[in-house]
Each structure stands twice: as structure tokens, then as C-alpha cells.
Amino acid sequence: MLGVVLKNKREELGMTLQDVSRMTGMPTKYVSALENEQLEEFIGGSKEIERMIRLYARKLNIPIDSDVFSKLSKKTNSATQISSGEILIPLFLLISPQEKKAKPKSPR
């Protein structure tokens, strides 16, 4: 239901998915996933989805009722359950500060 509201407002404004993507900084696939309520796309769970919906709505001046998020939370808890083996950690978080500062030794 919320996805339909987002999509209808975007289309009413004559905007494309790419336009919203540029405005919000979200990848186009996430904008599309929000509009189609494909919540399994978001590994961050309900907090990430809520943040992205708020951003989308704010950029397009769409009023969002707070009840939407309590309903959404119930829906996303089942849709976004992931096991610890599925969590991806960005490589830059795995590199220690010492490794970042270490300069490569020049060959002699």
C-alpha cells in the first residue's frame, strides 16, 4: 500500500526511478523495491527500510503517518530475517587502522 503511494506521487510529479535515485542517493533498485514493497531486498531490516521510506517521502513532500511504520515493522520482521552467515561486511571495516597507515615499502 505504501509503495503504491510512493510510486503514484513520483509518477504524478513526472519523475523517473532514476530521478528519485539521484534526489535521495539511493540505488535505483532500492527505490523500485520500496515502490513494489519487495522488502527482502533490504538486509538492514526494518530500520533501514524506515529510513529510506522517510527519505523518499521527505524529498517528494509525501506526508507519512507514523502508524505506517508500526505496520511496516511487523511486515518486515518476517520478510528480512537473515542468518548471521548472510551478513556482508564491507572490506574497509575489516582493515585495521595500522594497515591503513602503513605505507608500502619501496624496493631497494
Domain ranges of the chain: 2-82
78 or 62: whose pLDDT is higher?
Answer: 62
Q: Which whole number is the average pLDDT over 61-67?
A: 78
Place of cell 505504501: 2
Among candidate residues 59, 78, 76, the one with its CA nearest the CA of residue 68 = 76
Task: Tell me the pTM.
Answer: 0.62
Answer whether residue 78 shows pLDDT above 90.
no
Categorize the per-residue pLDDT at 8 as very low, low, confident or very high, splitting at 50, 70 and 90: very high
pLDDT over 80 (residue 68): no
Contact 36, 75 (CB under 8 A): no
pLDDT of residue 46: 80
CATH number belonging to domain 2-82: 1.10.260.40
Q: 78-106 burial, b for 16+ CB within 10 Å, e for fewer? A: ebbeeeeeeeeeeeeeeeeeeeeeeeeee
Query: Which pLDDT belongs to residue 65?
Result: 74
Give residue 7's pLDDT: 93
